[in-house]
Amino acid sequence: MATRLPTLIELDQEIARRSLSEFCKMAWHVLEPATPIKWGWALDAMCEHLEAVHSGQIKRLLMNVPPGMMKSLLTGVFFPAWEWGAGGSPSLRYLTTAHKEDLAIRDNLKCRRLISSDWYQERWGVELCGDQNAKTKFENTATGFRESMAFRSLTGSRGDRIIIDDPLSVADAFSEAALHSVETTFLEAVPSRVNNSDSAIIVIMQRLHERDTSGVILARELGYEHLMLPMRFEESRRCKTCIGFTDPRQKEGELLFPERFTATQVDEMEKVMGGYAVAGQFQQRPVPRGGGLFKSDWVQYWDTLPERFDASVISWDMTFKDSKASDFVVGQVWGRKGSSFYLIDQFRGQWDFVKTLEQFVAAANKYPRVTRKLVEDKANGSAIIATLKKKVSGIIPITPKESKEARASAVTPLWEAGNVYLPPPERFPWVERDLVPELLAFPSGAHDDTIDAMSQALTDLNKHSGLHIDPTNLAYLLGR
């Protein structure tokens, strides 16, 4: 007897049963018939964690991803439709929320449209009830339902799945009242909305504030599995989760979803957004709006440099490895005029030992009259000192006695008093791209190399401010 081959519909059913990602790709045309789908590994990662919710492996899931990652579609539209149909669980009940009711309703309508489509009905036949088929709530004949509401209006029904999608708006991140209200809703209302101990809570959002819902979950250690995917890869924050997932990126700064957002597009978005928004929404590590140890309103720029400086130094922070995922080596050229301190130039890169030697010599050659070259005398810095002390004059070993946080704190009065000036960003793009975000994020940012070099330079220049040093101008520093 000949074996019957499966039909195309049966093949779709089996493929979708095995993979939420494949279901999303197959169902895409129902919701976006005129737009080709763009897919990447990050979307697979989100789907795999949602599958772990379906299997019961994860009951509390926090996903932090940048905007534009299809998070609302994957979590609030495709996932419920997949569980009801391909997942064989049409009795599941969903409470879905967003910071605005119209956004929650938008995804409710999309999910209903997908489930009602001929394509879906041919494959899974989940029948919707005619007497409960509204914009905010629809039910099926297996007692399952999907109900939507604004997050801060989360009352009434209970669900097997509580889906919290961006509970805080960008604008509300400025509001103490809104932050408090969202925190109260999450801590006091959400726990009482689950059906039983098998129910799951899913929070999917971009970071907006250190006290947003993600911040509450992490600070209170509430036991959520945390999938954290920054736009640009940071080795020091590589995400690993209980399902065996590890962020696969290898190169520092590698993009999350280049299939949709190219390097040029990300660069342009970052310019428009600014350092604070990039740190939170893109990199998922929000800093205080006014800054951390260093405040945003302390940052100021020079238009033109003084004609003459009283003193100058090149200050180096050195961490090098044979890896693109290493920290940065940073060298900064600083000048002091009276009580004011000016950052003149910066050398920064992920360099190995040989490249660091080359850059050190290049900086010394570019600024031959800067006689003081400060290098922290430990680990990598000690190796540089030992290698170059007979070849490059003026290398000063620095042995810090305090932590880097204490050293940075010691120079904050100079910033607060308005004595520190950075290069103008329109002429030096790295100032706004690298230096200022790192400054405002300190001490909780992913990198602090520029801060170490800066605090070392300012400490030295301030300590020697009473000494007589022959005045020099920039042309002189450059050997002209």
| Whole-angstrom distance, CA of residue 114 vs CA of residue 50 | 19
Say which residues have a Cβ less than 8 Å from residue 423's Cβ, sequence separation at least 6: 301, 302, 343, 344, 345, 431
| Whole-angstrom distance, CA of residue 465 vs CA of residue 31 | 67
- For residue 480, is it within any domain? no
Q: Which of 248, 282, 316 is the last residue of a domain?
A: 282
Q: Which of 282, 316, 336 is the last residue of a domain?
A: 282
CB atoms within 10 A of CB 97: 27
Q: Facing residues of 316 across strands? A: 331, 375
Residues of the chain under the 50 pLDDT cut: 322-325, 466-471
- For residue 3, is it within any domain? no
Amino acid code (one letter) for 249 = R
Say whether both 355 and 451 belong to one domain: yes
CB atoms within 10 A of CB 163: 27
- For residue 455, is it within any domain? yes
Q: Which domain holds residue 201?
A: 8-282
The number of distinct structural domains making up the chain is: 2
Say whether both 302 and 413 belong to one domain: yes
- For residue 472, is it within any domain? no
pLDDT tens digits for range 381-395: 888 888 888 888 899
Question: How does DSSP assign 119-146, residue by residue?
Answer: HHHHHT-PPEEEEEE-SSEEEETTS-EE
| Whole-angstrom distance, CA of residue 17 vs CA of residue 82 | 8
Say whether both 223 and 304 belong to one domain: no
Q: Which of 249, 282, 315 is the last residue of a domain?
A: 282
| Whole-angstrom distance, CA of residue 146 vs CA of residue 90 | 11
Q: Are 235 and 325 in contact (CB under 8 A)?
A: yes
Q: What's the predicted TM-score (pTM) here?
A: 0.70
Q: Are 415 and 277 in contact (CB under 8 A)?
A: no
SS3 label, residue 36: coil
Q: The domain spanning residue 18 has which CATH number?
A: 3.40.50.300
Strand ranges of the sheet holding 137-140, from the earlier edge strand across to the other edge: 128-133, 137-140, 145-150, 93-98, 161-165, 200-205, 60-64, 225-228
Say whether both 70 and 121 belong to one domain: yes
Residue 168 confidence (pLDDT) = 95
Say whether both 272 and 415 belong to one domain: no
User: Residues in the chain, how many?
Assistant: 480
Amino acid code (one letter) for 312 = S
- For residue 320, is it within any domain? yes
Say which residues have a Cβ less than 8 Å from residue 125's Cβ, sequence separation at least 6: none
Say whether both 203 and 69 belong to one domain: yes
Residue 288 confidence (pLDDT) = 66
Say whether both 61 and 189 belong to one domain: yes
| Whole-angstrom distance, CA of residue 458 vs CA of residue 176 | 35
Residue 470 confidence (pLDDT) = 42
What phi and psi, each to the nearest 5 degrees, are found at residue 309?
-110, 150
Q: Are 274 and 286 in contact (CB under 8 A)?
A: no
SS3 label, residue 313: strand
Say whether both 62 and 15 belong to one domain: yes
Say whether both 272 and 374 belong to one domain: no
Say whether both 346 and 264 belong to one domain: no
Residue 480 confidence (pLDDT) = 58
Question: Peptide bond before 191: cis, by omega within 30 degrees of 0?
Answer: no
pLDDT tens digits for range 313-359: 999 998 765 444 467 899 999 999 999 999 999 999 988 889 999 99
- For residue 473, is it within any domain? no
Per residue in 40-62, is it b (16+ CB within 10 Å) or e — as a string?
Answer: bebbbbbbbbbbbbbeeebbbbb
Residue 477 confidence (pLDDT) = 60
Both structure tokens of 467 = 């000494």
- For residue 477, is it within any domain? no
Q: Facing residues of 225 across strands? A: 61
| Whole-angstrom distance, CA of residue 134 vs CA of residue 345 | 62
Q: The domain spanning residue 303 has which CATH number?
A: 3.30.420.240
Say whether both 267 and 315 belong to one domain: no
Question: How does DSSP assign 385-443, residue by residue?
Answer: HHHHTTTSTTEEEE---S-HHHHHHHHHHHHHTT-EEBPPTTT-THIIIIIHHHHHHTT
Q: Are 211 and 183 in contact (CB under 8 A)?
A: yes
Question: How does DSSP assign 338-400, residue by residue?
Answer: TTEEEEEEEEEE---HHHHHHHHHHHHHHSTT--EEEEESSTHHHHHHHHHTTTSTTEEEE--
- For residue 434, is it within any domain? yes
Amino acid code (one letter) for 88 = G
Say whether both 388 and 240 belong to one domain: no
